[in-house]
Amino acid sequence: MNLYRRMLLGGVLVTLVACQSLRESMLAADYPPAFVDGFEAGCQSGRAAAGPLGGYTKALSRYQSEPLYTQGWDDGFRQCEQSQQRDDWHVSSEQDWRDREWRHHVDQAMAKALNR
């Protein structure tokens, strides 16, 4: 996928935060319906694959016979899997920080108690 399409797709995903659904946004941006179908299924599968309970949604007959569905599925999977991994990394990093802060607090309290 060329850079222009990636940027356009990124813009479409940002639009998702607004009132339109992802499907409506992509169709409004003139993506072919088969691509949009594939993107939705691939995105759902990518998020699931990055999480603890991975699962796939793929219309195999369409994936094998419709190039636009295939491209949409592959793009959706890749982008949403990466997005989910980034989200998970941020949550994990925040939890690690909280754990370190708590451990530091406990260590400080223990040091005070032992110095008395």
Residues in contact with 43: Cβ distance below 8 Å, sequence separation at least 6, in sequence order: 22, 76, 77, 79, 80
Among residues 10, 23, 79, 21, which one has the least CA distance to residue 49? 79
pTM, rounded to two decimals: 0.53
Element (H, E) at 29: none
Identify the three-state secondary structure at position 15.
helix
Q: Residue written as tokens 């699931």? A: 48
pLDDT band for position 104 (cuts 50, 70, 90)? confident
Radius of gyration of the chain (CA): 21
Each residue of 32-91: pLDDT tens digit? 999 999 999 998 888 888 776 667 788 899 999 999 999 999 999 888 888 878 776 666
> How far apart are the C-alpha atoms of 47 and 32, rounded to whole Å?
22
Where are the domains positioned within the chain? 9-115
Q: Quick one: pLDDT at residue 100?
A: 76
> How far apart are the C-alpha atoms of 93 and 71, rounded to whole Å?
33
pLDDT band for position 93 (cuts 50, 70, 90)? low
Q: Quick one: pLDDT at residue 64?
A: 95
φ, ψ of residue 32 in degrees (nearest 5): -65, 145
- Residue range 9-17: average pLDDT? 57
